[in-house]
Amino acid sequence: MNVGPISGASSDARRRGGRKLAALALGVVLAVTACGGGGTGSGSGSGADDGRPKDSTAAQSKQSEAVIGIAPKDGAESVKTSGALKVDAAKGKLTEVVVKNPDGEKIDGEISGDGAHWTPSTHLAASTKYTVHAVAKDSAGRTAAEDSSFTTLTPKNTFVGTFTPEDGSKVGVGMPFSLRFTRGITKAEDVEKAIRITTEPAVEVEGHWFGNDRLDFRPEKYWKPGTKVTVDLNLDGVEGRDGVYGEQAKTVSFTIGRSQVSVVDAKKHTMKVERDGKVIKTIPITAGAPGTETWNGRMVVSERLKVTRMNGETVGFGGEYDIKDVPHAMRLSTSGTFIHGNYWGGGAFGNYNASHGCIGLRDTRGGWDKKAPGAWFFENTMIGDVVVVKNSNDATIAPDNGLNGWNMSWEKWKA
């Protein structure tokens, strides 16, 4: 029997099969168009317009041309605390730079006007890991970002500053904030920049260096009573001299009490105690005898001792005196000037000068009489109060002999 091939089907059958395939294909096309949501009855089948420029996808797919450079390199160690950290942008502008320490505290810095550079406005702390996040945009507005981290050096040699007054203290209107450094400072500007003083109410405060190891701060005139002073010592990481770094990060606050300025007249042998602008007591005194006169000038009480020993050998007077129980002593100079109670002066008080340079007030041995001038003045005096001496046959005390920078003009102080 002769069997024909499959292709031998009739032409009518082929036509019916072709119509079915065509209908199926048309249904698929309609379904795709409907899912696309572009059917509008126009029959165009072009799809919805999403509002974007036709080349937006291509534009967004291009990488930003901005190139960010961060120094030091990622993962660097033993990085210097000043001068090493820099962020730059090429073919674009920096829009954001965030540098943080492990506690999340940000390092202040500034982007240059042209957006090409960022530099920190302060030094970095020593032995600290920092993270850097930088963002820049190119001319087309496309962003680029870089992240990095590094660790600063651990110094072999360090310095600290011992300071007065103490944190939390209340002091008189003449009290400066005084720092003495354990190492001589050769980079004074960097150290001074790391110390910030704020006051309430606000007043201009300037620093002055005495030698290379002491820095004092004060306003032009005595502090206003009630002023609150805050000192931020951001010395950690400051290179005070080659290879020697600060290690302090501390905030110190103190408050100014009432105003008390006492004026000693060495010729009249009296002292007028002025409280908040009013004289509250006039006290007979004895000052330095001829040949050992008391310094003239404005002096600040820097220490209060209920009883102390005074030995002439410690201040260049040999064995001329050694009094082991001087009552109610208040230091006015580093060189040994005190205003203190005196129980051995006899009739000197208010009549003649008999001391070796100190200011003596009548008192009792042991300081038991609370009404005695020496005891009264001690109980009514605080650290930072001012004692002014005039009409003595001696020079004006040096500004660095004690906390006595008030004897320097404001112009010289700032210079």
Does residue 369 contact residue 363 with C-beta atoms inside 8 Å?
yes
pLDDT tens for each residue of the chain, 415 residues long = 343 433 334 444 444 444 443 333 334 333 333 333 333 333 333 344 444 444 444 444 589 999 999 999 999 999 999 999 999 999 999 999 999 999 999 999 999 999 999 999 999 999 999 999 999 999 999 999 999 999 999 999 999 999 999 999 999 999 999 999 999 999 999 999 999 999 999 999 999 999 999 999 999 999 999 999 999 999 999 999 999 999 999 999 999 999 999 999 999 999 999 999 999 999 999 999 999 999 999 999 999 999 999 987 877 777 777 899 999 999 999 999 999 999 999 999 999 999 999 999 999 999 999 999 999 999 999 999 999 999 999 999 999 999 999 999 999 999 9
Residues 146 and 165 in one domain: no
Does residue 270 contact residue 285 with C-beta atoms inside 8 Å?
yes
Catalytic residue among 208, 328, 356, 358: 358
State yes or no: is 35 an active-site residue: no
- In this prediction, residue 73 carries a pLDDT of 97
Residue 328 forms part of a structural domain: yes
Instruction: Indicate which CATH number applies to the domain containing 212.
Output: 2.60.40.3710
Instruction: Indicate which CATH number applies to the domain containing 330.
Output: 2.40.440.10
CA 384 to chain centre: 23
Residues 266 and 245 in one domain: no
Residues 387 and 267 in one domain: yes
Does residue 173 contact residue 256 with C-beta atoms inside 8 Å?
yes
Residues 288 and 391 in one domain: yes
- Which secondary-structure segment (H or E) carries 131? strand 129-137
Residue 266 forms part of a structural domain: yes
- In this prediction, residue 234 carries a pLDDT of 97
Q: Give Cβ neighbours of residue 270 (< 8 Å, ≥ 6 apart).
A: 264, 282, 283, 284, 285, 350
What the block records as the tokens of 44 is 């165009």
**Residue 46: CA atoms inside 13 Å, Cβ hemisphere, count?**
5
Q: Which of 233, 256, 279 delimits the end of a domain?
A: 256
Residues 363 and 297 in one domain: yes
- In this prediction, residue 329 carries a pLDDT of 98
Residues 75 and 187 in one domain: no
Residues 265 and 396 in one domain: yes
Residues 107 and 243 in one domain: no
Residues 169 and 233 in one domain: yes
Residue 13 forms part of a structural domain: no
- In this prediction, residue 61 carries a pLDDT of 55
Q: Which of 113, 134, 152 delimits the end of a domain?
A: 152
- Which secondary-structure segment (H or E) carries 61? helix 56-61
DSSP labels, 216-254: EEE-SSPPPTT-EEEEEEE-TT-EEETTEEE--EEEEEE
- In this prediction, residue 320 carries a pLDDT of 75
Q: What angle do CA 153, 156, 158 make, to 5 degrees?
A: 100
Residue 343 forms part of a structural domain: yes
Q: Which of 220, 235, 256 delimits the end of a domain?
A: 256
Residues 147 and 162 in one domain: no
Residues 229 and 356 in one domain: no
State yes or no: is 340 an active-site residue: yes
Residue 33 forms part of a structural domain: no
Residues 206 and 316 in one domain: no
Q: Give Cβ neighbours of residue 83 (< 8 Å, ≥ 6 apart).
A: none
| Cα separation, 267 vs 270, whole angstroms | 8
Catalytic residue among 123, 328, 340, 356: 340
Residue 6 forms part of a structural domain: no
Residue 38 forms part of a structural domain: no
**Measured between alpha carbons, how far apart are the two ends of the chain, in Å?**
127
Count of structural domains, the chain? 3
- In this prediction, residue 62 carries a pLDDT of 87
Residue 32 forms part of a structural domain: no
- In this prediction, residue 374 carries a pLDDT of 98
Domain that holds residue 80: 64-152
Instruction: Indicate which CATH number applies to the domain containing 71.
Output: 2.60.40.3780
- The pTM assigned to this predicted structure is 0.81
| Cα separation, 393 vs 289, whole angstroms | 9
- In this prediction, residue 30 carries a pLDDT of 32
